Structure 1
Amino acid sequence: MTERVREGFTRLYGTVPEGVWAAPGRVNLIGEYTDFNEGFVMPLALPHTAVAAVSRRSDGVLRLHSADIEGPVVELRVDALNPLTDTSWAAYPAGVVWALRQAGHAITGADLHLSSTVPTGAGLSSSAALEVVTALALNDLYDLGLTRPELARLAQRAENDFVGVPCGVMDQTASACCVDGHALHLDCRDLSIRQVPFDLAARGLALLVVDTRVKHALGDGAYAERRAGCEEGARRLGVSHLRDVPYEDLDAALARLSDERVRRYVRHVVSDDHRVQRVIDLLDVGEVRAIGPVLTEGHASLRDDLRISCPELDLVVDTANASGALGARMTGGGFGGSAVVLAEASATDTITKAIEEAFTAAGFTAPRVFPAIPSAGARRLS
């Protein structure tokens, strides 16, 4: 793919790019809707990446092109980038240029040609991959000296303030900072990270991603509504964020909340933060198989308390567990997208077949199933 993107750049712009970079999508093992509550998450990078061939410009022009989307080169002026004015794919790399300039970095233009293997609409952070690959390339080319966590925060600002999506920092941090063979334990308050060994193949295990290929319209605005509900719960409990509600005090905290909807949201966030810690504790002592039931428990919370699941995701989890999986849960923002399934490597074909047959019987679109191999974060390829 490196050569294909390099050659595409040369055909488009008539010159060889200064370099080629890649940034991965991610899947979240555990910890959902906890990031904006300053809690804990545990994503891992996928082998699927956004790849960008990039060169600097000195004339204030930003040119963007995607090999994956029909259309001409998008040409913009870096000094005329305005937030919330573009809803196309180009808003993500353009937003990074805007965020870098807003932070005081003298980005004087660039030519980019991009291609991505990260599935879109599957909850696997295809947008964060575009942002992070752009940020890393410009950091290298302009010798900005920014750290990976700093690049992640700038990429998040691009998505929050330029594109207008109120996401937390998990997706961009995972894309920028993950390490091959590890999951990333991220504290979303101080942004400290810990690389947790997660070599499933060595233990005869596999983590499957099941992309339902579904995105329900119900998800429109639902993320923001749940974020607002969590913030309301924190206010009512007198804390800055739900991170500050100890798990052992959860029952007492819930008793203080009269709004049933807010109570459900608080219960999910506080218990999911606790589930992240349980998974960490199990991995630290080598009990990898034992995290399966924690994943399934997390799905029940997402389904019943946060209410962001859907029939397709529930069918994946129920079918996988009935077919011998160690555990399964939906992952990402919900209302469609993907689920993860932890299983013995020897059982993956049986489980995949069962899920595919269950979808056919239910009249659902055939899912896409592939292994989630813990992979490297963003990097320069050439």
Structure 2
Amino acid sequence: MSEYQYYEFLALDRPLNATEKAYVESLSSRVELTSTQAKFVYNYGDFRGNSQEMLEKCFDVMLYMASWGSRQLMFRFPKSLINADVFEPYYLPDRIIVSSTKNFVILNINIHDEEMSHWIDSGEGYLSDMVSLRNDLLQGDLRSFYLAWLKAAPIYFDPEEEDYIEPPVPANLNNLPNSLLVLIDFLELEQDLIVGAAKASEFQKEEEESLEDLIPKLSEREKNDFLVQLIKGESHVGMQLTNRLREFAGKREVRINNNTPRRTLSELLKLAEGEINQRRKKEQEALRQAKIQKLEALAKKKDKVWEQIFELITLKQSKPYNQAVAHLVDLRDLAEYQGKLEEFQTSIKQMQIDYSSRPGLISRLQKARLLAK
């Protein structure tokens, strides 16, 4: 399998300055660089820099994927905007990590799964579709972190040796926006596992908040501080103000119901297995119903199909023989469905006698298991 690695970095809060761009360019001659984005593609060799260090210095989001089954997604947040403690239940050593620098909190989802080892045409497009997850996390939506845990936990833990309790289950796992669907695709997370896990997820209606009426609760000093930050063009002033007003409204809590019973990993895997079985039963029933519809439609034109079969046989050619045998297979299925298989077999025996001098036809009937042994 050919090697493929893809790195992409995005600057969201502010564009890169000249010094930062020079630093990024010094790391690789293969970089595709703008003031807000850097991309690296490797079919051989490797990235010389440290991706987390590069994120800390210059960017806000980073994505990495490799054809040998590695997937990584990192977010950088200003410390003033986020409480890193809410992520602690989702930590998994070497898989889901939260670290801090002087000014930032770094969330690092880093998963390697051998089952994701396959050819990748391109990693482009994933990050642009998932970039809104950063803002969702800032607003207390932890669904992306839970889904990452759901992917990583069965790889990291062995339920047969020791069972593990899932982290708090976020609300609205049954109602996922496109950004989370793209994350699921990026991580190649099994849909049946998500459906099973979502059984414990509450539905919470997204309420439109009228925070303007709470502005008078801000002190004069706070109002002035926000205005000064706005004039200076500082990032996330709106988010900081919204969070402050939500505190007055008592709505800054993370959207988690801590009273929901927590399940073990083995219980989640059993739920997924149950979902797989149910889905297969539904698929089999759908196929059965489709076959019945096809057979009932065939029953209405059975005599005409028999006429077509004999017309095709008289042509004494390979392709018409194949078409005739395909029609006969359909008629056999119809005979089984109608309880007239013995009548059909009598017709086939007569055909074997009438066309015994046609080895091409007889061999095709044998291959289709239409002739009695």
- The answer to which structure has the higher strand fraction is 1
- The answer to which structure has the higher helix fraction is 2
The reply to whether TM is greater than 0.5 is no
Band the TM-score falls in, shorter-chain normalisation: under 0.3
Structure 2-normalised TM-score? 0.21
| Larger RCO, structure (CA 8 Å, separation 6 or more) | 1
Who wins on radius of gyration, i.e. which is larger? 2
